[in-house]
Structure 1
Amino acid sequence: MTTLDNRPNTALLVVDVQNGVVDEGHERDAVVANIGGLVGRARKEGVPVVWVQHSDEELVHGSEEWRIVGELAPEEAEPRVDKSYGDSFEDTDLEKVLAERGVGRLVVVGAETDACIRSTLHGALVRGYDATLVGDAHTTVDKSEWGAPKPDQVIAHTNLYWRYQVAPGRKGGTVTSEDVDFSG
């Protein structure tokens, strides 16, 4: 349903699954395992896997905190997108990477739910993409000491509201890992 012309393909977008981002994430091991399973399925089905990595003063490019978690290993041919803002499209080459692969639909996984995941989902939708959130393959850390809800509530709320997101000619949606359909 994307509004992007000649973009029939789907990509798995893996956002910020980096040591310094997910090490204390809610249900970290289960989320990383779900992401790993989806990466394997995408590769088997010939679906592009695109890796996004955030860097800033706390996540210094090339540092151990910046690296993708050890359980996941991007393949040499899989694109990597460096970003400095929450929205993975903002001031990056993500749009170019996706256009080169004819991608109009994204399956989104990663971290952090209440920051880069939400920003990227909204960024995708407003740019004309369909964007599906995998509800059991994203996480966040506990920010309740600053007034945020507990991580399980942040994740549940994001899964709920994204399930019903639509815009003219585009749609959101939330599915579980086992219900991901890369064919559309």
Structure 2
Amino acid sequence: MTTMPDRPNTALLVIDVQNDVVAGAHDRDGVIANINTLVGKARAEDVPVIWVQHSDDDLERDSEAWQYVSELARHDPEPLVHKTYGDSFEETSLEALLAGRGVGRLVVTGAQTDFCVRSTLHGAFVRGYDVTLVGDAHTTQDLTEYGAPAPNLVIAHTNLYWQGQRAPGRRAKTVGTAEVTFTADEG
């Protein structure tokens, strides 16, 4: 249903599951386990897995803090997109990678829910992609001291509002790990 009829394929996006990004994240181990399940399923179905890795002044490239968590292993042929903005499309190779693979539908996982995950969801949607958020495969840190809701509420709210997104010719939805299929006609 994407607005890109010549791009019928799906890709799994794994956003910023880096040491410092998820160090204090809500349900860290459960989310990483779900992402691992999805990565395995995508690989078994020959669905592209695209890894996104953030760097900035607080997350220095090539530092230990910047590295992906040890529980997740990227295979060499799987693309790694380096970014410096919340939206994984901004000034990166992501769009070219997706176009080259005929991808018009994204299944999104990662961290942090209220920053890079949300930015990428919206960035993909406004660019014409169908976007499925995996509701139990994204997380965030506790930012209540800055006035944010508790992490479980941030995650629940994001899952709720993403399920309700609408736009012409595109589909947004939220599903659990067990419900993910990598076909365009997912229910």
Pick the TM interval, shorter chain: over 0.9
Code of the aligned partner of 2:58: E
The residue type equivalent to 1:38 in the other structure is: L
Q: Partners in 1 of 2:147 and 2:165 — Cα distance? A: 26
What do residues 123-160 of structure 1 show as CA deviations (whole Å, max 9, x unaligned)?
Answer: 00000000000000000000000000000000000000
Q: Paired residue for 1:59?
A: 59
Structure 1 length as normaliser, TM-score? 0.99
Q: Which amino acid aligns with 2:114?
A: D
Q: How many positions carry a matched residue from both structures?
A: 184
Aligned partner letter, 2:116: C
Q: Deviations over 1:84-132 (max 9, x none)?
A: 0000001111000000100000000000000000000000000000000
Matches within 5 A, 1:124-135: 124-135=124-135
Matches within 5 A, 1:156-171: 156-171=156-171
1:144 aligns with 2:157: no
Q: Report the CA distance between 1:167 and its aligned residue.
A: 0.6
Q: Which residue of 2 aligns with 1:35?
A: 35
The CA distance in 2 between the partners of 1:59 and 1:6, in whole Å, is: 37
Q: Which runs of 5+ in 1 are unaligned?
A: none
Distance in 1 (CA, whole Å) between partners of 2:23 and 2:131 is 26
1:115 aligned partner: 115
Residue 5 of structure 1: how far off its partner (Å): 3.5
Q: Could you report, residue by residue, the CA deviation over 1:20-51 in whole angstroms, capped at 9, with x for unpaired residues?
A: 10111000000000000000000000000000
> Aligned letter for 2:155?
I
Task: Give the corresponding residue for 1:23.
Answer: 23
Root mean square deviation of aligned Cα: 0.6
Q: For residue 142 of structure 1, give the secondary structure of its aligned residue in structure 2.
A: coil
Report the AA paired with residue 127 of structure 2: R
Matched-pair identity in %: 65
Corresponding letter in the other structure for 2:48 = P
Structure-1 residue corresponding to 2:89: 89
Q: Which residue of 1 aligns with 2:105?
A: 105
